[in-house]
Structure 1
Amino acid sequence: MDFVTLTKPEIMKATIKIYLRNKPDINNNKPVVLRITKDRKTKLISLGFKAKDEEWDSDKNRFNKRSRNYQKKNRVLLNLEDRALKVIEDFTINNNMNFTLKLFEKKFRGENKERKNVNSYLTKLIDDFETTGRYGAAQPYKDLQSSLFKFTSKNLQFKEVDFNFLKSFEFYLRNQNHTEGGIAFKMRHLRALYNNAINEDIVDYSFYPFRKYKISKLKGKSRKIALNKDELNRFINVDLSKNEHLVQAHKLFMFSYYCRGMNWIDMMSLKWEDIYDGKIHYTRKKTKQPFIIEVLDPVKDILDFFKKTHSSTNYVFPILLKENLTPKQVKYRKHKTLRNYNLQLKEIGHLAEIDKQLTSYVARHTYATLLYHEGVSVEKISASMGHSSVLVTMSYLKEFDSHDLDLVNRKLIEEPIELY
């Protein structure tokens, strides 16, 4: 059913249609949308699905057999279509055919407590993130939405997300070969989603399942990623004379370390105009927090290196090679360059005889950890890194060498405690 028209002479016509919008992303996936037209005005509502042209039957406006789980998806689309009709029918019964398209969307998405469901809430959250260009923040929720849909294709209500549901979802993810850390990552985002729904009065706190279901039990094997002083010195002094292709990666890592563990996305967006009066001025993409960082001597040397070797754009580093890229192009470039960067860091780690997996985040964790061991307070480290709370900083610092703990234990012998 492509079009549904209310034909009673006493009301204005309203039509709905589900179709594949011609607006592809970087992977040529197009969004599936519901279009409602009323009083010559039109509104598009994302339904949380995407498909390539070859996965879509344009005659029936449904997924075809080339799309994975196409039957489940089509059942969901049919339910969404029925819901849209029911919303219009309710307006008709209540003699409210002067409803606005915004009011229709609110009723269709289920903004009241009885009709709000997890999938529609996720879709709205993802849309909000992407509208503001926060594609990185949207991605974990898109992954969560995909996993939830594969686990249960019905219109899941928040009230149905109880302890037993979470245990079953955990079991499902584990059978899909997700690691403990990966499962915990998804559960944390599901918990954040539920907290937001409570704050918006979509579901009552009495249904909150995470009082009983503890994500903390899903701890994977701890993996120390911060470098100690000896490892950092080996990294700094590694001989790259026979591996010149690794020089830029080495300098980018050190720049991040010296600049309070600056993230990759902030480094790639940094422009020469952001550096003046001996300071680096930028706003962190993740938290929107402004930073002013002194240009230390090692940082000046790194900047001079890139000033001489890279001048095709106003960007400091050769990561974004063109100006005025769209947010989606920036996202694609970020993932591509970050992957290559991490591979090069792995090579450097091998040459420096560092028995840890080096990634872009190691610079950030190393900065925090070494400051902590130098006696800097957690509060100051948190402020210098732009963390939203001290708890985030503590997650960076929770790992200690067993050797360090052994030294603490020895104090019980070397400095006996007097009993009174």
Structure 2
Amino acid sequence: MATVRTKFRASSSDTKEGTLFYQVIHNRVARQIHTGYRLYPHEWDAENREIVFPPGVADNRRNYLVSLGNALQADAGRLKGVISYLDRSGEAYTVDDVVSRYLSQADNHCFISFARNLAGQLGRIGRQCTADTYTTAINSFIRFREERDIPLDEMDSDLMVAYEGHLKSNGICPNSTSFYMRNLRAIYNRAVDKGLTVQRYPFKHVYTGIDKTVKRAVPLDVIRQIRDLDLTLQPDMDFARDIFMFSFYTRGMAFVDIAFLKKTDLQNGVLTYRRHKTGQQLSIKWEKPMQELVDRQGTSGTPYLLPIITDGGKDVRRQYRNQAHRVNRNLKKIGRRLGLAIPLTTYVARHGWASIARSKNIPLATISEAMGHDSENTTRIYLASLDTAEVDRANSLILKSL
């Protein structure tokens, strides 16, 4: 009879999540099934092969771990069912038969169906941001395919080149095209990891890079203008300005992370949170301007630090998304009032902090750590499009020397 063990593989970096996988053993032959589930080493009990809840774990992380535990239990039940079926058949079988039958039950062998199932699975285990990102890319590909699914084995470079042409003909910019391609590639690679198809590199002839973007940073004097605006008669714009400044004060904290901050995240003068995008834990020294801003907000009836999510009984993600649209809409009004050349959004606060930090000769590694980037390369992408003044000055010198 085949046996199944759940195992954890730690990341090479102590600050990043490791991965869970299933090891199936039969007749002394072992095979692995990748799950896509991720967690930190201190959240896994290797001896008992089960998830543990660290002391003081945040509510959103606890919910994620509970969902992950339920997913592991459901997978284990399916694997046991496959093994029982093969045992009852009375015929000899291999460990590959177990893996193949399990995977065929988990996902069919068509790309769109697999992608939808994967997005749903990620949502169920608490990785809603990734699920939403995948869903956006999937929906674009579905429109291209006119709702027709395609076998994984037919995903090839010709198809993706045709899809890229479709996006270009519809006016989709290169960075957005690359966004769709990178996410579809990640989904496809998951299918390869699960053994549902062989790697055919369908994305090798399409663009998956990141172009330099239009400058989205503002200098320190503009940040001061935004801070000092009198918006007392326009409460919606006043609130949007406060969220912008809070992001700037907290080293360019992303709006989604601001939205889910809880009062319990602030302890002993330190604000600690996990980035929704990467799961990385960051700590920020609590400063006077942050406290003054929070004091202006009314959150006495909720556990959240700022009044973005105001009703815990309703869909909190919908509240977050609605507020994000409202805040950015009002920030653009502020930007127009100040005569800014770029649309003012919460993202400008993040870019602005990075640009100003760099202008003060703060090392790239420090900026990268402060912003919670996975690598300095990500920070370089941020900074590459922020300020071309030095290049412009060099060009002027050259022209004057003619």
Structure 2: which amino acid aligns with 1:316? L
Deviations 1:273-309 (A, max 9, x none): 2212111122222222222211112112112222xx3
Q: Give the 3 Å change call, closer, same or farther, for CA 194–253 of structure 1 in structure 2.
A: same
Partner of 1:254: 245
Structure 2 residue 287 is matched with structure 1 residue 296: yes
Partner of 1:106: 103
| Residue 392 of structure 1, aligned match among 375, 378, 388 | 378
Unaligned runs of 5+ in 1: 1-87, 416-420
Asked whether the 8 Å contact 2:179–2:208 carries over to 1, the reply is no
Deviations 1:58-84 (A, max 9, x none): xxxxxxxxxxxxxxxxxxxxxxxxxxx
Aligned-pair distance for 1:178? Answer: 3.2
Structure 2 residue 355 is matched with structure 1 residue 369: yes
Partners of 1:402 and 1:386 in 2: CA distance: 24
Structure 2: which amino acid aligns with 1:310? T
TM-score normalised per structure 1: 0.66
Structure 2 residue 337 is matched with structure 1 residue 343: no
Q: Give the 3 Å change call, closer, same or farther, for CA 97–139 of structure 1 in structure 2.
A: farther
Partner of 1:53: none
Partners of 1:98 and 1:143 in 2: CA distance: 44
| Residue 160 of structure 1, aligned match among 137, 144, 154 | 154
Aligned-pair distance for 1:261? Answer: 1.2
Q: Give the 3 Å change call, closer, same or farther, for CA 175–250 of structure 1 in structure 2.
A: same
Structure 2 residue 397 is matched with structure 1 residue 403: no
Task: State which drifts further: 154-163 or 405-414.
Answer: 405-414
Partners of 1:346 and 1:272 in 2: CA distance: 29
Structure 2: which amino acid aligns with 1:289? Q
Asked whether the 8 Å contact 2:331–2:344 carries over to 1, the reply is yes
Q: Give the 3 Å change call, closer, same or farther, for CA 411–202 of structure 1 in structure 2.
A: farther
Asked whether the 8 Å contact 1:238–1:352 carries over to 2, the reply is no
Aligned-pair distance for 1:234? Answer: 2.1
**Aligned pairs for 1:9-408 within 5 A:** 95=89, 106-109=103-106, 116-152=109-145, 153-205=147-199, 207-216=200-209, 219=211, 222-306=213-297, 309-323=298-312, 325=314, 329-408=315-394
Task: State which drifts further: 263-272 or 150-159.
Answer: 150-159
Partners of 1:409 and 1:196 in 2: CA distance: 47
Deviations 1:244-276 (A, max 9, x none): 432221111111111111122221221222212
2:296 counterpart SS class? helix
Partners of 1:351 and 1:97 in 2: CA distance: 77
Q: Give the 3 Å change call, closer, same or farther, for CA 124–388 of structure 1 in structure 2.
A: farther
Partners of 1:263 and 1:98 in 2: CA distance: 55
1:281 counterpart SS class? strand
Partners of 2:270 and 2:235 in 1: CA distance: 29
Structure 2: which amino acid aligns with 1:265? V
Partners of 2:206 and 2:235 in 1: CA distance: 51
Partners of 1:393 and 1:350 in 2: CA distance: 28
Partners of 1:146 and 1:300 in 2: CA distance: 42
Aligned-pair distance for 1:189? Answer: 0.9
Deviations 1:162-189 (A, max 9, x none): 2221121122233444333322211121
1:211 counterpart SS class? coil
Q: Give the 3 Å change call, closer, same or farther, for CA 382–150 of structure 1 in structure 2.
A: same
1:332 counterpart SS class? helix
Partners of 1:102 and 1:336 in 2: CA distance: 43
Aligned-pair distance for 1:321? Answer: 1.2
1:340 counterpart SS class? helix
Partners of 2:399 and 2:141 in 1: CA distance: 54
Task: State which drifts further: 293-302 or 138-147.
Answer: 138-147
Q: Give the 3 Å change call, closer, same or farther, for CA 200–373 of structure 1 in structure 2.
A: farther
Q: Give the 3 Å change call, closer, same or farther, for CA 132–109 of structure 1 in structure 2.
A: closer
1:344 counterpart SS class? helix
Aligned length: 314
Unaligned runs of 5+ in 2: 1-81
